[in-house]
Structure 1
Amino acid sequence: MNAIPTPLKPTDHLLDAVATELAWSEARKRSLQRTLQALFREHLLNRDQLITEGAGSWLPLWSQQGVLRFEGLSLGRIGDCRLTGSVSYYPTGERPQPVTHAAALLACVAPSLPGRGEDLQRLVHELDNSLANDVLCLAYRRTWAQSLRAELGGADAYFIAALRRAGHANPALLLEQWGTLGHPWHPTFKTKLGLSADEVLALSPEFQPTLRVPLAAIRADKARTTFAAGDGDYAAWFAHHFPASAQRWEAALARLGERAADWLPLPLHPFQARKVIPRKFAAEIAHGDLLLLDGVGLDATPTMSFRTVVPAGSPALPHLKLPVSLRLTSVQRTVSPKSTVMGPRITRLLAAILEREHGFGGTLDIVREDVGLHYIDPQDDDDRARHLAILYRANPMAKADRGRFPVPVGALFAESPFSGRPLATELVALAHGDHAAGAVAYFGRHARTVLTALLSAYLVYGIAFEAHQQNSFIMLDDGYAPVQLLARDFGDLRIHGPTLRRAGLALDAYRAGFTVYDDDEPVRDKLLHAVLLCHLSELALLLAHAYGHPEHHFWDVLRRTMDDVFADLRARVHERRWQAEREALLAHDWPAKSFLRMRLLDTSDDVHGTMPNPLA
């Protein structure tokens, strides 16, 4: 057994020392819990071998003749892990060693893990990086929470209600940034490889930064543009939405003796402009196909998605989804040519369906992806072109009105800066009363809204949205009840081709094997993982634990609601498909995405295991 490593600390002087020390303790616990959860969920540790005595549990590690001891460990129906106490490792014949963070845990179980030694060391580095970044996040949130209480506290007992009534310019954006706590299943949920601590603070949404987004110029015949509305004039569209920036851009071109008509404006993420473009596209710059203009840009701030930014924090202007050639969480967050083409095409298809279906009773709407642009690589190399692209997405706040208010689902899992309890409990209290029965009632309304929207799209049209916590907004009515799902990000939306064609519709795929599938399994897997597991199941668990209420009450609600929605849709779905999908969702085992195995194998391709169906 190797010595348990000590993780690297972040640059503590960047934030208040006391807040950093408290954050360090909390971040260690979060990192340890999520890694332990992944080990059990992905069957890298065998939960059947746990020996539990009172509050303590023992797990023999046969390959290294040692034992792990857990205090306050519980494992739930979907492999969710709760850990309220300490973890210790007992090597045979040696003194026990405390296990306080994820890298230490991996060192204990290393002989049981797949991959090579260098893969494990790379994963340890990613976990340490995630931990250091989480410390920065948690330390900053303490001061930020104090500021929010001072600004909004007083008349309202609930943060969401106070924010809704305060006249804030863009409350959905504030909630996105406040809710940036990382993917609930990822052990490396805060990994940002390639950034210093200063850069993490300067670029990440959880620190509310203002970014200066440079405007480059790309030769018009070297880029492909796609519009949801069909044909369009990209330069005119950009000038309409960003007139001041377009004027400065044209003036910069004129100073270089260039005609604006020969070029297209291309916003770049500031990291990309400094660190990637000058090197990766040096040939294009040298040949005069790409111009990096001095002093031309626009101010923006990031959303829950690091690479998607909001110009001037506006509640109306389009969001900019920009490539960032960094490994964030687990993959490089670039913008593929496929996304820039298919985003607008899918938007057009979805808009037609929503019009035909009246939004499935008003339960579903979308955040449109109206315009995409990508560089045309001379070798048709999409892996290179994805570093020089942009996708323009509608602003979610544009859907708000006096009666409806968008809340990012991911923010519901963050603690309220007023009470320290999950924000979801505020919606429970506002809509139904702050008690267990209210939590069950709220969850039933939330689940009914989401499943009516997304099962209708899936069963009738074969469309599986990637509507996990980050990609979903829940629209609240005047009484804070959920009435509509607002879905965004169509980059990994999947469609069952035969079902779409049966509905009399078609979608021209960017390339065979992407987006549209003849097999139903990859489409169903997307719905199961994103919607049923990462969204609805996680919300059920959050509410059960927040109110100390037995989980089965929430699982029962989810199953009944799915049964009801299936029954409502039966007449509209081919009988064989209806029966097969009902069995798959309500009776058969579910696929479970294996994030830890993916990192150990160093792949961005999905790796799936299985889990018992929590609704069976």
Structure 2
Amino acid sequence: MLRATDLPPHARASFATAARLLSCLVTESLLRALYVPLDSPGCVGVCVVLSGPASAKAPTAYTADDVLVLVPLRHVPVFKHDSDATDARGRDIALLDPLDMLPLVLQVRQGRDALDRSEAREKLVSDVVGALDAAGWGLGKAVNLVALEDSVELWHTYARSIELEAAMAADIASELASAVKWQTYSYEHPAQAPLFDSPSIDWEQSIVEGHPTHPMHKTRHFLHPIPPIEPGDYDLYSPRIRLAALPRESLKITGDFEQLLLPVLECASKNAGAPLEIPEGHVVVPVHELQVRHIRAKFSEAVIYPEAFHVPARAQQSIRSVVLSDALHETHLKLGVGIKLTSAVRTISPASAYLGPRFSAQVVPALRIDPAILTVAKELASVVHAHPDGEVAKHCAAIVRECHENGSEARGERLIVCTSLVESGHAGVESGVPSVVRVFGLDTEEKRIAWLDSFVQLFFAAFLPQVLHNGVAFEAHPQNTVARFSLAAPHKLLGFIIRDFGGLRVHPPTLLASTGVALDVAPGHSIIAETLDDVYTRMYHTMIHNHLQQLIRVLELHYNGKGWDVVRARLRQAVPRGHALERVWLSEDAKTLPGKCFMRMRMVGAYRHHLHAPFPNLLHYMGTSRKADEDSQHSHAVQG
């Protein structure tokens, strides 16, 4: 069977990005894709992705010219609930995941020699052609199937087919190319495999691939005047924190920011071997060393201290959140940095700087939270420039946030960011084994089911009460969620820490009615939900579609449906009978739910305000049977 790990690093990286791009285009219903079963070693079928114009045609009109790409599949995808299981031309795919795919994307070419292929690829391509002919596609005798070599080429083909505005298409192409470049470097220089005893920051820095479905999963785009940085030229995980002094009247300060920052100033002064002279009426702001160029270019009143006044740091996965072990022990810093990761520039908006400390002090203590299970990393203080243009102000900002990782060992706990649990491909360990399986010894299905059951039970106990009672959804995706495990064997899961308030969703009337607290937030802030359904939508995406789906897949409990059996059982225990959430998520009518659309958002330049399309409701997914699908094109996919 073809394996991605057998590919050279660049080819493997290009496929990783192409697979995520195709996943978004299909799952967001930007393109139509059909599943045709076939019988080939390691391959259950082929996904036929139609070109943009062809996606709207009648199903009997398809020709070779209508095919964007063909993707051999190792697993049966999730079908649309209303797809025709008897249509010989193929069944409509609702959700296409990169883990469904074999590492080969094929383009249809007329009258052109196919690229050189290995014997295994040659056999697979022959089987694909045979399956399509048998299904009545009739691609023609002169057609060759050519392996896609460049994921950016795939994007250009799609963008042209929908006549996307040229500048936007070029920007997205640049970001996809960056993702491939940085992913290639990650494959060539994989992080060391974390052990259970590894410090929390090592787990943060153990990411090999990142987001499982976002096409810009490894994009690192540096905003001018930060110069372009090539992989290997600078260690984004080990930056130095510089200092700048600005007039107090130039800044908006929330909380006791200056007092909380004193240890950083003292450490920088010690490293410089000289006192830190602060001009009268000025406040010192910590600055990521890459961001110094933005400070100098945008804020002429800033006094930037020499490089000698610095503090070494280690960055968490987000790059902008940094741990300063030499200076801060109970807190860490979140800094505005002009770097675009995935689709977002990692600065801090004035609205976010305003929200964090106020939400932490006013709302968090009033929420329905079991403190033994869920800890909220509070944002204690913030600073942001007072420039009237928020797009400028966001480049000079910082937040002081609680750091529960420090001191966790003294409490008998190991804290592990959840996104690192599903990663594999590390140096020095068996290829393809995710950290959660390797570290916790989940070498049987029985062990994996038991581990997942424990995780899901606590996950729902941690994050559903605020949704059910307060109308508040934390953005509990794996990068924001830190799992707490006991140091003592067998390393029992104890609970979670949630961090970052930028992706909250809050229904103010429900919050006020349940707690007596009025949400103090800038008007029009993206966290405000107009209805409770908005809250439920955010929670489904972060908890179910993003967090639990990827965990279930790497535990090999998706295609057999057993992982979703666990989720349904625990969810019915956690959600009171008759509650609105039960209707929205679990009713027989809830065949689809609004899903966050990364590519739709990127193509209109949206980030904070989400765009949604109907995604299959995975809470009703029952698993699939290869034999049943091959024999009759029927599967136990999404049921009501």
- Specify whether residues 560 and 189 from structure 1 end up closer, same or farther in structure 2 by C-alpha distance, changes over 3 A only: same
RMSD of Structure 2 on Structure 1 (CA): 3.0
Of the three residues 427, 434, 437, the one matched with 1:422 is 434
Q: Secondary structure at the match of 1:615?
A: helix
Q: Is 2:232 aligned against 1:201?
A: yes
Quote the residue 1:367 is aligned against.
377
Distance 1:338 1:250 in 2: 37
Q: Using the TM superposition, give the Cα deviation of residue 555 of structure 1 relative to its aligned residue in structure 2, in angstroms.
A: 0.8
Quote the residue 1:179 is aligned against.
207
Quote the residue 2:9 is aligned against.
23
Of the three residues 268, 272, 277, the one matched with 1:245 is 268
Distance 1:414 1:489 in 2: 22
Q: Which moved more, 1:114-123 or 1:441-450?
A: 114-123
Of the three residues 21, 32, 53, the one matched with 2:38 is 53
Q: Which amino acid aligns with 1:80?
A: D
Q: Which moved more, 1:590-599 or 1:394-403?
A: 394-403
Distance 2:232 2:373 in 1: 37
Q: Is 2:104 aligned against 1:86?
A: yes
Q: Is the 8 A contact 1:498 1:518 kept in 2?
A: no
Distance 2:473 2:311 in 1: 35
- Specify whether residues 22 and 29 from structure 1 end up closer, same or farther in structure 2 by C-alpha distance, changes over 3 A only: same
Of the three residues 542, 551, 554, the one matched with 1:530 is 542
Q: Any idea what the Cα deviations from partners look like across 1:363-391, whole Å, max 9, x if unmatched?
A: 211222111111112xx322221111101
Q: How many residues align?
A: 540
- Specify whether residues 472 and 216 from structure 1 end up closer, same or farther in structure 2 by C-alpha distance, changes over 3 A only: same
Distance 2:345 2:588 in 1: 31
Quote the residue 2:19 is aligned against.
33
Q: Which amino acid aligns with 2:26?
A: F
Q: Is the 8 A contact 1:188 1:330 kept in 2?
A: yes
Distance 2:412 2:47 in 1: 53
Q: Which amino acid aligns with 2:196?
A: A
Quote the residue 1:456 is aligned against.
465
Q: Is the 8 A contact 1:65 1:92 kept in 2?
A: no
Q: Is 2:514 aligned against 1:503?
A: yes
Distance 2:200 2:233 in 1: 21
Quote the residue 1:393 is aligned against.
401
Quote the residue 2:254 is aligned against.
226
Q: Secondary structure at the match of 1:193?
A: strand
Q: Which amino acid aligns with 1:177?
A: Q
Gapped regions of structure 1 (runs ≥ 5): 1-18, 149-158, 164-170
Q: Using the TM superposition, give the Cα deviation of residue 178 of structure 1 relative to its aligned residue in structure 2, in angstroms.
A: 0.6
Gapped regions of structure 2 (runs ≥ 5): 55-63, 79-94, 114-143, 621-640
Q: Is 2:595 aligned against 1:592?
A: yes
Q: Which amino acid aligns with 1:193?
A: H
Distance 1:584 1:474 in 2: 30
Distance 1:483 1:542 in 2: 22
Distance 1:552 1:270 in 2: 48
Q: Using the TM superposition, give the Cα deviation of residue 94 of structure 1 relative to its aligned residue in structure 2, in angstroms.
A: 4.3
Distance 2:75 2:482 in 1: 30
Q: Is 2:209 aligned against 1:190?
A: no
Q: Is the 8 A contact 1:179 1:413 kept in 2?
A: no
Distance 1:58 1:310 in 2: 44
Q: Using the TM superposition, give the Cα deviation of residue 583 of structure 1 relative to its aligned residue in structure 2, in angstroms.
A: 4.7
Distance 2:352 2:233 in 1: 27
Quote the residue 1:384 is aligned against.
392
Quote the residue 2:345 is aligned against.
332
Q: Which amino acid aligns with 1:40?
A: V
Distance 2:330 2:231 in 1: 25
Q: Is the 8 A contact 1:88 1:98 kept in 2?
A: yes
Q: Secondary structure at the match of 2:313?
A: strand
Q: Using the TM superposition, give the Cα deviation of residue 581 of structure 1 relative to its aligned residue in structure 2, in angstroms.
A: 4.7
Q: Is the 8 A contact 1:457 1:463 kept in 2?
A: yes
Q: Which moved more, 1:467-476 or 1:102-111?
A: 102-111
Quote the residue 1:407 is aligned against.
416
Quote the residue 1:3 is aligned against.
none
- Specify whether residues 553 and 199 from structure 1 end up closer, same or farther in structure 2 by C-alpha distance, changes over 3 A only: same
Of the three residues 160, 170, 177, the one matched with 2:195 is 160
Q: Secondary structure at the match of 2:566?
A: helix
Of the three residues 282, 288, 292, the one matched with 1:263 is 282
Write 1 or 2 for the structure with the bigger share of helix: 1
Q: Using the TM superposition, give the Cα deviation of residue 522 of structure 1 relative to its aligned residue in structure 2, in angstroms.
A: 2.7
Q: Using the TM superposition, give the Cα deviation of residue 221 of structure 1 relative to its aligned residue in structure 2, in angstroms.
A: 2.5
Q: Secondary structure at the match of 2:605?
A: coil
Distance 2:466 2:269 in 1: 39
Q: Using the TM superposition, give the Cα deviation of residue 308 of structure 1 relative to its aligned residue in structure 2, in angstroms.
A: 1.4
TM-score, with normalisation over the residues of structure 2? 0.77
Q: Which amino acid aligns with 1:70?
A: V
Q: Is 2:314 aligned against 1:296?
A: no
Q: Is the 8 A contact 2:206 2:420 kept in 1?
A: yes
Q: Secondary structure at the match of 2:415?
A: strand
- Specify whether residues 584 and 606 from structure 1 end up closer, same or farther in structure 2 by C-alpha distance, changes over 3 A only: farther
Q: Secondary structure at the match of 2:232?
A: helix
Q: Any idea what the Cα deviations from partners look like across 1:296-343, whole Å, max 9, x if unmatched?
A: 221112110111111147782522111112322112111011111211
- Specify whether residues 196 and 226 from structure 1 end up closer, same or farther in structure 2 by C-alpha distance, changes over 3 A only: closer
1:88-103 to structure 2, matched below 5 A, reads 88-95=106-113, 96=144, 97-103=146-152
Q: Using the TM superposition, give the Cα deviation of residue 235 of structure 1 relative to its aligned residue in structure 2, in angstroms.
A: 2.5
- Specify whether residues 484 and 162 from structure 1 end up closer, same or farther in structure 2 by C-alpha distance, changes over 3 A only: closer
Q: Is the 8 A contact 1:176 1:411 kept in 2?
A: yes
Q: Secondary structure at the match of 1:521?
A: helix
Of the three residues 612, 619, 625, the one matched with 1:608 is 612
Distance 1:596 1:102 in 2: 15
Q: Is the 8 A contact 1:413 1:542 kept in 2?
A: yes
Paired-residue identity, % = 23
Q: Which amino acid aligns with 2:232?
A: L
Of the three residues 500, 503, 510, the one matched with 1:489 is 500
Q: Secondary structure at the match of 1:319?
A: strand
- Specify whether residues 507 and 245 from structure 1 end up closer, same or farther in structure 2 by C-alpha distance, changes over 3 A only: farther
Q: Using the TM superposition, give the Cα deviation of residue 519 of structure 1 relative to its aligned residue in structure 2, in angstroms.
A: 1.7
Q: Any idea what the Cα deviations from partners look like across 1:350-373, whole Å, max 9, x if unmatched?
A: 54136x7542xx221122211111
Q: Is the 8 A contact 1:495 1:523 kept in 2?
A: yes
Q: Is 2:318 aligned against 1:305?
A: yes
Q: Using the TM superposition, give the Cα deviation of residue 577 of structure 1 relative to its aligned residue in structure 2, in angstroms.
A: 3.9
Q: Is the 8 A contact 1:203 1:302 kept in 2?
A: no
Q: Is the 8 A contact 1:66 1:90 kept in 2?
A: no
Q: Which amino acid aligns with 1:525?
A: T
Q: Which amino acid aligns with 2:315?
A: P
Of the three residues 192, 200, 213, the one matched with 2:241 is 213
Distance 1:71 1:357 in 2: 46
Quote the residue 1:15 is aligned against.
none
Q: Secondary structure at the match of 2:108?
A: strand
Q: Any idea what the Cα deviations from partners look like across 1:562-590, whole Å, max 9, x if unmatched?
A: 101013xx6xxxx6645545557993522
Q: Is the 8 A contact 2:211 2:217 kept in 1?
A: yes
Q: Using the TM superposition, give the Cα deviation of residue 611 of structure 1 relative to its aligned residue in structure 2, in angstroms.
A: 1.0
Q: Which amino acid aligns with 1:245?
A: A
Q: Which amino acid aligns with 2:593?
A: W
Q: Is 2:327 aligned against 1:319?
A: no
Q: Using the TM superposition, give the Cα deviation of residue 436 of structure 1 relative to its aligned residue in structure 2, in angstroms.
A: 0.7
